[in-house]
Structure 1
Amino acid sequence: MTSPLLRLLPPPALLVLGCCFCLAVPVTPGLAADAAAEADPFATYGAAVPDGKLREYQKLFRQKQIGTKTLTAGLSQRLFIKGVRKPVGSQARVAYQAPASFAVRYTHPEGEWLLLHKGQLEVQRRGKPLMVKQIGRGDTGMSNAGPLMLLELLRDGGTAFEGSYDVAMREADSRLTVILQARGNGGKPSLIRTTLSLPALELIEIDVTFNGDQGRIVYGFSSIQRNTKIDSNLFVSGETKN
């Protein structure tokens, strides 16, 4: 069974851990669908949000994240792999404590964890030595993109990455889709699509696509609790209770 931590750390971090996964090639749609996608590839997510309203949503979401001192949530992960019919999935509990502590404790399968704390990334896999790496804020290298992207999003709404992406928003029913398209390559994800609930602007899903055939990861969030007391041991290196 594929390690769940490989599903959180995108390529080429997978290469570091001894695996390499590629994105499944989608089925080619019909000509009419091709033409529609070229004209507006994000139309399926709803009507385009005008600039003024976009900036207001950005402001409100940043305020929500900056005002969040602690957060816990259920996390589902799906990794799309070339040659595999179904995505590889895992389940975890995540915890965040402002300003820079983020932990992932796996519940299915059990026994592995990831920790970002005091500028250090730690990854523990069953039967493997602890992997430790020093990282800096705004480090968008792909080996850090999974955990760092989530930390930056929870900390201040992801402002550290905005300079490298073009931002668009789509609104439909009770959902807001935020679409970040990379400017150039630079070893970062090529497309990040975040789905939020309306009007609460609560996280529902983050869909991350990497350049070329390097992979796609979808994070789903559930049972989110903000600004409640959490166990500080969650941010201590080692096996702790979920």
Structure 2
Amino acid sequence: CGMCYFLCPRTYLPVDILNMTQGNSSEIKSVSTIGHYIEVYSARTKIKSIAKVCQDGGITSTCLHYLFDTKQIDLALGAKMSGTPWRPEPIVIQNKDDILLTTGTKYVNNPTLSVLKDLNKNPTKLAVVGVPCMMQGLLKSKIYNIDIPALNQIKYRIGIFCMESFSYESFLKICEVLKVNVKDVRKTDINKGKFFIYNNSGDELALNIEILKNCSFYRVVIPFYRIVDFIDYYKVFILQ
């Protein structure tokens, strides 16, 4: 039907229109390297179960925990690891326990919004956790008044930082270059211009992003130079 192409933030993204929908609040500040923001905080979760498995501070998971705890949402959309090592898949988070399935950064692309169509049957209060392109897609759907009932049920859009999003095949190649079995990967991270893999033995393996970009297998879903919303301006929460 063409809806995927129509709503994709990388087809024709009306940045000026997107900015207009956010208003001209005097509270909004700007810094050239990351985009618009109101306030910036550094925080760490106090929930022990989240702290044990989170990527950094666990704030995204903690906010979802709060929203469930205060009954402000019934369901949330996010990403969890599938049965294939380090290949994420969408998940409908139904309670606080499910949040623990979604912790940690996934650098392989995941079609989180694809499950929205399955949530049209029953009225519910939703939260969506996603990267900038997902937030832009949601806002485009609102601007163009797309007839998907679940879109009107979204109460919170929780945006997370994004610099790179690899295809699964590219991720496997990175593991190959770093000589680590994908089944032995414990954690991944991007920091200080490098892609890090931590294995189950406690080793830290790193590959410079600039070197990575010159590799024949290098392919990202949304190259960094095309991201116009690094900090997820088009959402309700900014979290990392």
Richer in strand (by share): 1
TM-score range, shorter chain: under 0.3
TM-score normalised to the size of structure 1? 0.27
User: Hey, which of these two has a bigger chunk of helix by percent?
Assistant: 2
